[in-house]
Amino acid sequence: MKIIMLGAPGAGKGTQAKMIADKYSIPHISTGDIFRANIKEGTELGQKAKTYMDKGLLVPDELVVDLVVDRVQKDDCAKGYVLDGFPRTIPQAEALDAALAKLNDKVDYAINVEVPDENIIKRMSGRRACVACGATYHIVHIPTKVEGICDRCGAELILRDDDKPETVKKRLDVYHDQTQPLIDYYTNSGILKEVDGTVDMKDVFAAIIDILGE
């Protein structure tokens, strides 16, 4: 089962992708997490990506496409995977389709998690992330047992630099401009599925299971 998560920044793609990965025992591949891990380790890729991420801009396609195309060919992806944060532009989607077609393979579902912009800004200021294990929480909606500490691994949580309101506004503009066209792209290829992302995370997940099957 090969799945793409679509949606605005903060729509809940990561939250749902992790639940999908657990339920169906497939890897969760988040390009944002890969970049943040590289930034933390100080790699060249991380240094390059950071200059774009801090401004709320997308990292150039050439820095992300090969990375994902390589990743989805690893052994653990044989049964499927859930891609979170990729593709984010039409060229990325075309590159993924072309690489998979060469392997006689294709994406099965593109799930669009719909949340209006008004809700997004409010959500993002409350997001707290664990850079150690990639878990995501919300100070009001999805709190941790101990404030500021990851339930899953015990590391300290951060407010991401790019979750400041000014940067979130920029990311939303970039989303509408460069990523939203993917909705038409996957509608045309016949694999787009929509879920309402404004409801409780458990109800969003139930709608996704309805699509993917038990």
Residue 84, beta-bridge partner list: 5, 30
Please state the closest distance from residue 102 (CB atom) to ligand ADP, in A.
20
Q: Which is nearer to Zn ion, 30 or 179 (CB)?
A: 30
Residues 132-171 that bind ligand ADP (CB under 6 A): 136-138, 141-142, 162, 171
Instruction: Report the run of H or E that residue 206 belongs to, with start and end.
Output: helix 201-212
CB under 5 to 8 A by kind: which of ligand ADP, Zn ion, none does 80 bind?
A: none
Q: Which two tokens stand for residue 181?
A: 């066209």
Segment 21 to 50, residues that bind ligand ADP, using CB under 6 A: 31-32, 35
Let me know the angle formed at the C-alpha of 21 by 50 and 3, rounded to the nearest 5 degrees.
Answer: 80
Nearer Cβ to ligand ADP, position 42 or 104?
A: 42
CB of 9 to ligand ADP, least distance (A): 3
* Whether residue 123 lies in the annotated active site: no
Q: Kindly write down the DSSP assignment for every residue of 121-173, as one continuous string.
A: HHHHHTEEE-TTT--EEETTTB--SSTTB-TTT-PBPB--GGGSHHHHHHHHH
**Residue 59 touching ligand ADP (CB under 6 A):** yes
Among 21, 82, 85, 130, binds ligand ADP (CB under 6 A): 85
The residue assigned the tokens 């903060």 is 10
Specify whether 88 is catalytic.
yes
Catalytic residue among 13, 18, 36, 123: 13
- Give the CB-side neighbour count of residue 40, counting CA atoms within 13 A: 14
Two structure tokens written together for 129: 């992330």
Catalytic residue among 18, 50, 88, 123: 88
Active site residues: 13, 88, 127, 160, 171
> Residues in the site for Zn ion, rule: CB under 5 A?
130, 132-133, 135, 150, 152-153, 155
